[in-house]
A and B are shown apart, each in its own frame.
Chain A
Amino acid sequence: MGNQQFLADKIRTQEYHLNMGPQHPATHGVMRMVLKLDGEEIRDVEPVMGYIHRSIEKMSEHITYKQIIHLTDRLDYLSSHQNNEAVALLVEKATGIEVNDRIKVIRTIMSELSRIASHQLWWAVMGMDTGALTTFFYGFRDRELINDIFEETCGSRLTMNYSVIGGVRYDLHENFVKRVKDFIVHFRKKLPEYDQLLSNNVIFRKRTEGIGILTKEQVIAFGMNGPTARASGFVCDIRKKIPYSAYDRVHFEEIMATEGDAFARYKVRILEMWESMRIIEQLIDDIPEGEFKVKTKAVIKLPAGEHLQRVETARGDFGVYAISDGKKNPFRLKFRSPSFANMHGLNKMSEGTKIADLVVNFSTIDVVVPDIDR
């Protein structure tokens, strides 16, 4: 011990800065992290955002609520349906539009399908970030099936634009029920493969367990949310807390973990895929009959005041906060994005870890960069 102290006094190491990004495979898009390093050890992480800032909030102040829905796709493109739904629900709640059960059920099924698709993509990329390249193709193989279902019903695969104020844009395709059922059967067989390939791999376990630990208190203080926060034991699922659409009539569990490390975050997302399938199975068999879109006025004006709608996207608690002055466009519209909130925890997670751990931690937060930059 004394010898080590002697060496530490004698041998000075120099801290240096490293720019990770904006074009770097681990940042999942255009983001930059300024790392302060000592050798391989991280002393400080400063995320530099804004490379894909498109001023969506500013644009929203000039357009109508119907048009705003189209912009929300571009926030978190992997949860585009939930984002659409958030604005639609906000306007419906504020103006008192009642939607029927069919619409609610369709929206819920779509939300859960896109949650699965998002988690599949996350899993695929998570494997890549730890160095296991094969996961990428496994994840995309199954995600393709969901995208096909989306494409058949709403004509697009990623930015869906499916929810509109007062309903959904098109009725379900006639193959929809059958294909969703086929997918569930298929994916119930394939999801255990994910565990075989990655979750139970000893190297992967060593890379993730005990890495980037956040306690429940820290998670709450940082305002984090979604699966990332639930892995630390913070009960924050909006689907349970403030049920919207058809979530009040389905039985599912809020997946929780208490370890708060990278593997807990990983585990929560894998288990959430199982729960999402459970939700879909409860709804898919009897989708109520009815209109797929209720009649709304041509020009929708929100009553003056403040409105807030929260939904649970694949990344967490997505909030739309609108201040209206009674006109057809909002006075101020704020998108409270879950990825942006989750970025607060990154520095704490990375304390005393190595570059390789930063990549793993960043991957387990599961950010979508356009969602941060808005």
Chain B
Amino acid sequence: MTANKTIITDFLVDQMQMPVDIAFWVEIVVVAAVYLGVFALLGLFLVWMERRAAAFFQQRLGPNRRGPAGLFQTIADALKLVSKEITGTEKRDKFLYTIAPYFVIVTALMALAVLPFSQELQAFDINLGVFFITSVSSVAVIGIFLAGWASNNKFSLLGGMRSGIQMISYELSIGMVIVAMTVLTGTLQLSEIISFQQEHGWSIWSGHIPAIIGFMIFMIAGTAESNRTPFDLVEAESELGSGYHSEYSGMNFAYYFLAEFVNMFIISAMVVILFFGGWLSPFGITDGIPYVGVFWFVFKTLGVVMLMMWFRWTFPRFRIDQLLTLEWKYLIPISMVNIVFMALVVWLGLTF
């Protein structure tokens, strides 16, 4: 494994006279630290955004005292959570109970690593990018399931059971939409998907009908994947108290909480990468300028995040059998047909 030529290694080797091998490892540490920081801030920002959006939908003000427009409120909340005692049930499975939150948080962080924020800013550009994200985020279900099992609480167990059913089912249709989009773009590498879109226009445009169907399925399945209303059966506060994380407190709870929001960001980012051209600007207005892509990427992603928040504050929750009916009887068949449809469209050259 040799280090790619990046800004950080260049700087370390040329200016600091550091050996290349050490510079490589230093770079990894620096990038990891930066991503951890981004991760934490992103989580806090999304929580703030959710609360402001909820307040907007519910005709109230939301947090508006700490900092400009209440931006520091979530930081205060996070500090409170850090300082809280970590409690748990007496007869829990201590080992599983303790490691469960890390499954969720680590997988969310890993998925974040491959996202291309702009042409220049991507920590880890592997040629199986999309595949990597889906496989890593399907590990998260283990964390939730373990939490439900290890808490030794029946409400948690029900939550964990539901999460197992729900997340594994919906992963299928997410995977099939990705296959359909891969047929169109011909690659699994995230940066390649975007450069395909640079040539042919955004996928939702160039793939037209099958891409739009795919987008809809992806939005539904993605919302289910991140356990948000109308698919928040895993938490279902009016039914299960708070589901799998009933027995978690303090930072352990915060891990789940943050991971939920970061997962939402990742799903939205996937939507943007697959359908809306990632960091590409509309009509290529700023394509030449370096690092402006970050703005477009985050802007578009937050737009999709907003859409998911809109879902959450408008819809009631599904029941477990309705949830499964929707997935197995509607979404999976439609997405299967969609793959064939997309293949036909590409084969006949009907793309733009």
Interface residues in chain A, defined as those with a beta carbon under 8 Å from any beta carbon in chain B: 16, 18, 24-26, 39-40, 127-134, 136-138, 141, 197-198, 201, 203-204, 206-207, 354-357, 359
Q: Is the CB of B230 within 8 A of A133?
A: no
In angstroms, Cα B309 to Cα A134, docked, is 12
Contact among B60, B230, B236 with A137 in the assembled complex (CB-CB below 8 Å): B60
A-side contacts of B237, CB under 8 Å: 25
Contact among B154, B238, B241, B313 with A134 in the assembled complex (CB-CB below 8 Å): B313
| Additional A-B contact list (5), CB under 8 Å, known A131-B230, A134-B54 | A127-B316, A131-B316, A132-B317, A354-B321, A355-B240
**How far does the Cβ of A85 sit from chain B's closest Cβ, in whole Å?**
33
Chain B 306-317 interface 0/1 with A at a Cβ cutoff of 8 Å (1 = within): 000000011111
**How far does the Cβ of B55 sit from chain A's closest Cβ, in whole Å?**
9
B-side contacts of A128, CB under 8 Å: 238
In angstroms, Cα B317 to Cα A198, docked, is 12
Q: Is the CB of B319 within 8 A of A26?
A: no
Q: Is the CB of A359 within 8 A of B238?
A: yes
Contact among B233, B316, B320 with A132 in the assembled complex (CB-CB below 8 Å): B316
Residue of A nearest to B312 (CB): A133
Q: Is the CB of B230 within 8 A of A355?
A: no
Can you list 7 A-B pairs, Cβ within 8 angstroms, ordered by A?
A: A131-B238, A131-B315, A133-B54, A134-B58, A197-B314, A207-B317, A207-B319
Chain B 293-326 interface 0/1 with A at a Cβ cutoff of 8 Å (1 = within): 0000000000000000000011111111110000
A-side contacts of B233, CB under 8 Å: 356
Q: Is the CB of A356 within 8 A of B317?
A: yes
- The answer to whether the Cβ of B239 comes within 8 Å of any Cβ in the partner chain is yes
In angstroms, Cα B58 to Cα A138, docked, is 7
Known contacts A25-B237, A131-B232, A141-B59; decide if A204 and B319 are in contact (CB<8 Å).
no
Tally A-B pairs: CB < 8 A. Answer: 82
Known contacts A25-B238, A134-B314, A354-B321; decide if A40 and B158 are in contact (CB<8 Å).
yes
Interface residues in chain B, defined as those with a beta carbon under 8 Å from any beta carbon in chain A: 54, 57-60, 154-155, 158, 161, 229-230, 232-233, 236-241, 313-322
Q: Is the CB of A133 within 8 A of B313?
A: yes
Residue of A nearest to B325 (CB): A206
Q: Is the CB of B154 within 8 A of A355?
A: no
Residue of B nearest to A40 (CB): B320
Contact among A16, A138, A141, A203 with B316 in the assembled complex (CB-CB below 8 Å): A203
Known contacts A128-B238, A131-B230; decide if A354 and B320 are in contact (CB<8 Å).
yes
Q: Is the CB of A203 within 8 A of B241?
A: no
Quick one: which of A18, A206, A356 has the most chain B CB within 10 A? Answer: A356
Q: Is the CB of A356 within 8 A of B241?
A: no
In angstroms, Cα B315 to Cα A26, docked, is 18
Contact among B58, B229, B241 with A131 in the assembled complex (CB-CB below 8 Å): B229
Q: Is the CB of B318 within 8 A of A203?
A: yes
Q: Is the CB of A201 within 8 A of B315?
A: yes
In angstroms, Cα B58 to Cα A129, docked, is 16
In angstroms, Cα B239 to Cα A206, docked, is 17
Q: Is the CB of A24 within 8 A of B241?
A: yes
Contact among B54, B58, B236, B314 with A356 in the assembled complex (CB-CB below 8 Å): B236
A-side contacts of B57, CB under 8 Å: 134
Q: Is the CB of A129 within 8 A of B315?
A: no
**How far does the Cβ of A6 sit from chain B's closest Cβ, in whole Å?**
22
Question: Nearest 10 CB-CB pairs, A to B?
Answer: A131-B317, A130-B316, A137-B58, A132-B316, A356-B319, A131-B316, A129-B238, A204-B316, A203-B316, A26-B238
Quick one: which of B57, B158, B233, B317 has the most chain A CB within 10 A? Answer: B317
A-side contacts of B60, CB under 8 Å: 137
In angstroms, Cα B317 to Cα A359, docked, is 12
In angstroms, Cα B158 to Cα A355, docked, is 10
Known contacts A131-B236, A134-B57, A356-B236; decide if A207 and B316 are in contact (CB<8 Å).
yes
A-side contacts of B58, CB under 8 Å: 133-134, 136-138
In angstroms, Cα B322 to Cα A197, docked, is 20
Residue of B nearest to A136 (CB): B58
In angstroms, Cα B57 to Cα A133, docked, is 10
Quick one: which of B58, B60, B319 has the most chain A CB within 10 A? Answer: B319
**How far does the Cβ of B151 sit from chain A's closest Cβ, in whole Å?**
14
B-side contacts of A18, CB under 8 Å: 154-155
B-side contacts of A206, CB under 8 Å: 318-319, 322
B-side contacts of A207, CB under 8 Å: 316-319, 322
Known contacts A131-B230, A137-B60; decide if A357 and B238 are in contact (CB<8 Å).
no
A-side contacts of B229, CB under 8 Å: 131-133
**How far does the Cβ of A15 sit from chain B's closest Cβ, in whole Å?**
12
In angstroms, Cα B239 to Cα A130, docked, is 9
Residue of A nearest to B162 (CB): A40
B-side contacts of A141, CB under 8 Å: 59
**How far does the Cβ of B319 sit from chain A's closest Cβ, in whole Å?**
5
In angstroms, Cα B69 to Cα A142, docked, is 27
**How far does the Cβ of A67 sit from chain B's closest Cβ, in whole Å?**
38
A-side contacts of B314, CB under 8 Å: 132, 134, 197, 201
Residue of B nearest to A16 (CB): B154
B-side contacts of A24, CB under 8 Å: 241
**How far does the Cβ of B220 sit from chain A's closest Cβ, in whole Å?**
12
Residue of B nearest to A208 (CB): B316
In angstroms, Cα B241 to Cα A203, docked, is 21
In angstroms, Cα B232 to Cα A203, docked, is 13
B-side contacts of A40, CB under 8 Å: 158, 320
Residue of B nearest to A39 (CB): B161
Q: Is the CB of B241 within 8 A of A25?
A: yes
Residue of A nearest to B317 (CB): A131
Known contacts A134-B58, A137-B58, A356-B236; decide if A201 and B316 are in contact (CB<8 Å).
yes
Q: Is the CB of B59 within 8 A of A137?
A: yes
B-side contacts of A127, CB under 8 Å: 316
